[in-house]
Every structure is written in C-alpha cells, then in structure tokens.
Amino acid sequence: MTENPPPDSLTGILASLRERVMGVSESVLSTVDGLLVVADTDTVHPESVAALAAATLGVGRRMADTAGVGVLREVVARCGSGHVIVVAVGDRALLTVKGDDGLDLAAFQRESPATVEQLTKALASDVAH
C-alpha cells in the first residue's frame, strides 16, 4: 500500500476510505468492462479483481432490473472471513472493496457515497485533461 498519497489522487481516495472505515483492507478501482484503473492492495491480484467485479456488477444489474427494484448501487458478498463489495462509480467505473471480518458495514455504507463522488470527480477531471 502507498504511503500518504495525495488525498485528491485516485490512490489517495482509496487510502482515505481504508482509514475512515474500520475493516476495509484493500480496494480496486476499475472500468465497468474489467480493466484496472488503480489499486490499494497487498494480497489480491488487482487485475483479476477488476475483471471479476465487472462480471459481478453485470449479474447484479441484471438481477436488479429483473426484480424491478431500481438502479443497482452495490453488491455485497459476505464470506467466511470477510466481505467483498462492488460499488458502481457512475456509469463507467467500479469500486471493489475487500473487508475483513471486522468490517463496519454501516460505516462503509455511510462513507461510500462520498468516496464514489470523489472518485467520479477525479475520473472526470482526469478525462478532461
């Protein structure tokens, strides 16, 4: 993981989420078609996570559409020793978060909208330049 990245950089935004929410251990930002943008990881293979996140979001969106429950915001997988959460970042990016057993899911759900907004702005400004 990166030491003190600038808070407005993509890596800085990911690191900030890890610092603000207990239990967030790693995160990956990718495109909706599964290409890695940036990662804050130690143990996971970020390119693989990016590809799987795209598939997860695709299935989740299809389920939300079929069930008629509105636009998909996130997919949460509770696992034997933690969580994996895939969050839509606008229409073109995905945030995948790995959380340990102690993940504060309520804090994540409270903090993630601001993180998504920061990532959306950072991605938009990056494209504009």
Strand arrangement, sheet containing 36-40: 36-40, 24-31, 93-100, 82-89, 74-79
Q: Percentage of the chain with pLDDT > 90?
A: 84
* pLDDT at residue 1, as a whole number: 45
Mean pLDDT score of the chain: 91
> What mean pLDDT do residues 37-51 have?
95
Residue 24 banded pLDDT, cuts 50, 70, 90: very high
Amino acid letter for position 41: T
pLDDT at residue 100 greater than cutoff 80: yes
